A and B are shown apart, each in its own frame.
Chain A
Amino acid sequence: DSGVTQTPKHLITATGQRVTLRCSPRSGDLSVYWYQQSLDQGLQFLIQYYNGEERAKGNILERFSAQQFPDLHSELNLSSLELGDSALYFCASSPGLAGFTGELFFGEGSRLTVL
């Protein structure tokens, strides 16, 4: 158990809809990262938050947004969903800002299916 909790584990929705994925980091970790894993693109880094502020942005679509709350949990919002958004979405946390050069602790992922 990594200590990182993601909900929901599975989600099925329709095109055009909006969903919110939630991540609770390990106790004490200030950085949260979101990743997308699809069959055709593999793993991709989406966005990083550190102590409530956006710190790094990867291949995140404009239809997607995220935030990190004062209690350090994070939410990834996906809107105007398309079939191609079907993927596993992972959250990871790390203790400090320099998570890209430190150990990452991954959640179990949220599997999104868009029909």
Chain B
Amino acid sequence: KNEVEQSPQNLTAQEGEFITINCSYSVGISALHWLQQHPGGGIVSLFMLSSGKKKHGRLIATINIQEKHSSLHITASHPRDSAVYICAVSLNNDMRFGAGTRLTVKP
């Protein structure tokens, strides 16, 4: 079993829909990262969380340390949000990645 599990693997939405991507982990972590990878391959860091909730524009990320679970929400989704979203956890001097969630937002 992977230490970082993401769901769903693939997600197709209509423009304007509210989207949730989930990440569960099985190890003790110091932080959790949400990354966005566009079709061209480049990676952008969206959030780094160690507790609570963060918001940036239409993106919201939450983490529940006790339940070892994080969610990434996208409100009013847009075709430009189409990308692979990757959850990563920071351990002591290491980092583990989920397999990613491929999001397609249709106009």
A residues at B contact (CB < 8 Å): 2, 33, 42-45, 48, 55-58, 88, 90, 92, 100-106, 108-109, 111
Contacts and interface: CB of A to CB of B under 8 A. Distances in A.
Nearest to A59: B94
A1 to B, nearest CB: 10
Interface of B: 30-31, 33, 35, 40-45, 48, 50, 86, 88, 90-91, 93-100
- Which 9 A-B residue pairings sit nearest by Cβ, starting from the closest? A56-B93, A100-B90, A43-B97, A106-B43, A101-B31, A45-B95, A108-B42, A104-B45, A101-B30
A37 to B, nearest CB: 8
Contacts of B95: 33, 45, 58, 100
B76 to A, nearest CB: 25
Nearest to A105: B45
Given A48-B93, A55-B93, A101-B31, A43 B86 contact: yes
A95 B50 CA distance: 18
B91 A100 contact: yes
B88 A106 contact: no
Contact of A56 (B31, B50, B94): B94
Nearest to A56: B93
A30 B77 CA distance: 36
A42 B97 contact: yes
A88 B90 contact: no
Contact of A106 (B30, B31, B44): B44
A108 B41 contact: yes
Contacts of A102: 31, 48
A100 B30 CA distance: 8
17 contacts: A33-B95, A42-B97, A43-B86, A43-B97, A45-B94, A55-B93, A56-B93, A58-B94, A58-B95, A100-B30, A100-B90, A100-B93, A103-B45, A106-B35, A106-B43, A106-B44, A111-B41
A45 to B, nearest CB: 4
